[in-house]
Structure formats: C-alpha cells, structure tokens
Structure 1
Amino acid sequence: MTFIIPNRYFSDGDRRIKMDQDITLSNLCPCNSQLPYSECCEPYLLGTKNAPTAQALMRSRYSAFVTHNADHLIKTWHPSCRTPSLRDELIATFPNTQWLGLHIISAQENPRDNEAFVEFSACFIEINADDKQYLHERSRFLKIDDCWFYIDGVQPKVGRNDPCPCGSGRKYKKCCEHNRK
C-alpha cells in the first residue's frame, strides 16, 4: 500500500524531514517511529497484536488515520466513547485530511497503572487549505484487561514563548502560532 505525501516539511525534534515522496507502508511506518511498518503499527492495525503501551496505541491510532482504518480507531476508542455515528463521522473526515507527521512530545506511563498520558503534535493539511496545521493534544488512555483504549484528550495551552509543539525547536510565536484556529 502506498500513500502520497505532498512536498511539505515536518519537524521531528532537531531534524527537518522533507516528505515529498511516496511512502510504501512495507517500508517506514507513518507514525514516524523510523521502524518498518510491518514491525511497528501494522500488527496493531491488523488486529494480530494489542499495543503493549499507551504510546504504541497512540502511534497506531495516528497510522490508522493515515491509512483510513476506521475499524482500528473504533476498536481502540474506550467503549464508553463509541457513538452509533462514530464510523460515519470518521469515514467522512478521511478524504478531506492528509496527515503529514507525528511528533511524540511526552509519554507518562507506569507499567503498574491502568491510566497513561501521551502528549503529541500531529501535522496535517485539509484539502483545499494552503497551510499545514497542528493538532496538539495530551491524550488519556485507560487499560482494561491488558488492552489500552483512548478515552479523551485536552489541548494544552501553549505560551507564545514556549517551544513549538511541532518539534522545530523554535518558539511557538515564531513558528506555528499563526496556524492556530
């Protein structure tokens, strides 16, 4: 399976990655782990393995958005959050959003706890939009019977002088503040 990534840049820490080529999912995983897709998110999306950590589940959910895998997204949403219209809502967003990159900011996980938090920034562009945008969220995950589920998330307030959540290393006011809606 191949996904076309437009001629855009995404920052991952100190690296500026030019994403202007086809990404074959048999090669690199779209979650930006630098691992082969077959060794990273693919087993979770196929349902052959459960994500062992909240961060692994977060990465697999991002890959599910990239690959339009509504089944995985629904399966990994906490059962209390699943609505009858969830599948249709997800499918409606797929053709209008192109995901460009994922940057994990932090993960707070304790193997003995059944709750974990992953803060991330995901870069995307909406079809017919000129500028890339960022979704910055601190997601909460719950573990039930050794399976992690996404339950909710909050968008942290970023100060103008804070590091930009895109991972560029620049201050927010000099980087992505103008892309906030």
Structure 2
Amino acid sequence: MIPGAEPCPCGTSLSYAACCRRFVVDGELAPTAEALMRSRYTAYAMGSGDHLFRTWHPRTRPADIEPDPALTWIGLDVVDVVDGAADDTGGIVEFRAHWRSGEGSSRQSGTLHERSTFARRGGRWLYLGAETRV
C-alpha cells in the first residue's frame, strides 16, 4: 500500500494522506474545531505526541501528553458539534472514541465519551479541555 493511502483513523471516508496527515505530520492549521479534534484523535491513534503538544492550549496543557502505547484507538464517532467554524472564536465537539488494550484473556475495551472545548487563538484552533460523559 502507498504510504498515506490507508483510511484515516478519524473515521472520515478519506485516506490518511488526504485527511489528517497534513495536520498531524505537516503542521498545517486545522480550519475548524472538528478538524482539530479529528486530527488529535488521529495523533493519539498514531502515537504523535508532538501534534498533541502543538494543539493543546498552553494554559491547560499538562506536563506529560504522550499517548499511552498500551491503548489502541479503534474508532471515532462525532456526536455533536457546536460552533467551531473557520470564523468562530470557540467551539465544542462531543465524541466517542473507542479503544482496546491487552491480548487474549487480558484484553479490555471501552469508550471515551467527551465534550471537548476549543478556542481560536492567533488564527489557530487549540484544545482547551473536556468534560467526560458517561
């Protein structure tokens, strides 16, 4: 398979090269809060802590943001999007991210359900934080 031709982890029908790679690897700015959230999910799925660091608001960013290598992110469902368009200053994206870890009898799986808040600062979208849902 041609590098980047695989499906994008964020769940769109686009290839990784045509979807999130430009944000995660090339550093292009996401045009919307939803595009940033999808690229951040992809960064977690691919283990790209650099993208997570670059896109986390410095006011709320923790000291350690490296993705957990024990988790495999296996799917993303966007539940709701409020604002977050290219001309907005803020936005909210609610999503469910599905994961699994372990092998054999120790295999576990679950879903992270969050309502994440984003702000546009200096023309770029940044992740502020999230409210975890049950």
Q: Same fold (TM over 0.5)?
A: yes
* Cα shift readout 1:87-131 (whole Å, capped 9, x = no counterpart): 4xx25x1x2101100000111115443110000000001225433
Cα contact 1:141–1:151 (8 A) shared by 2: yes
Amino acid at match of 1:126: S
Match among 18, 22, 25 for residue 43 of structure 1: 22
Match among 19, 27, 30 for residue 9 of structure 2: 30
Note closer, same or farther for the CA distance 1:27–1:147 as it changes in structure 2 (3 Å cut). same
Whole-Å Cα distance in 2 between the matches of residues 119 and 155 of structure 1? 10
Answer yes or no: is 1:75 the counterpart of 2:54. yes
Amino acid at match of 2:93: V
State the identity %: 34
Q: CA RMSD in A?
A: 2.0
SS in structure 2 at match of 1:59: helix
Question: Where is the helix percentage greater, Structure 1 or Structure 2?
Answer: 1
Cα contact 1:141–1:149 (8 A) shared by 2: yes
Note closer, same or farther for the CA distance 1:107–1:127 as it changes in structure 2 (3 Å cut). same
Hey, what does 1:86 align to over in structure 2?
64
Answer yes or no: is 1:64 the counterpart of 2:39. no
- Once the two structures are TM-superposed, the CA of residue 27 in structure 1 deviates from its matched residue by 2.3
Answer yes or no: is 1:115 the counterpart of 2:93. no
Instruction: Tell me: higher relative CO, structure 1 or 2? Use CA pairs within 8 A at least 6 residues apart.
Output: 2
Which ranges of structure 1 fall in alignment gaps of 5 or more residues?
3-23, 158-181
Note closer, same or farther for the CA distance 1:110–1:133 as it changes in structure 2 (3 Å cut). closer
Amino acid at match of 1:36: S
Note closer, same or farther for the CA distance 1:58–1:36 as it changes in structure 2 (3 Å cut). same
Note closer, same or farther for the CA distance 1:110–1:152 as it changes in structure 2 (3 Å cut). closer
Hey, what does 1:98 align to over in structure 2?
72
Note closer, same or farther for the CA distance 1:98–1:117 as it changes in structure 2 (3 Å cut). same
Whole-Å Cα distance in 1 between the matches of residues 26 and 55 of structure 2? 10
Cα contact 1:142–1:150 (8 A) shared by 2: yes
Hey, what does 2:120 align to over in structure 1?
143
The structure that has the greater radius of gyration is 1
Which ranges of structure 2 fall in alignment gaps of 5 or more residues?
none
Cα contact 2:117–2:129 (8 A) shared by 1: yes
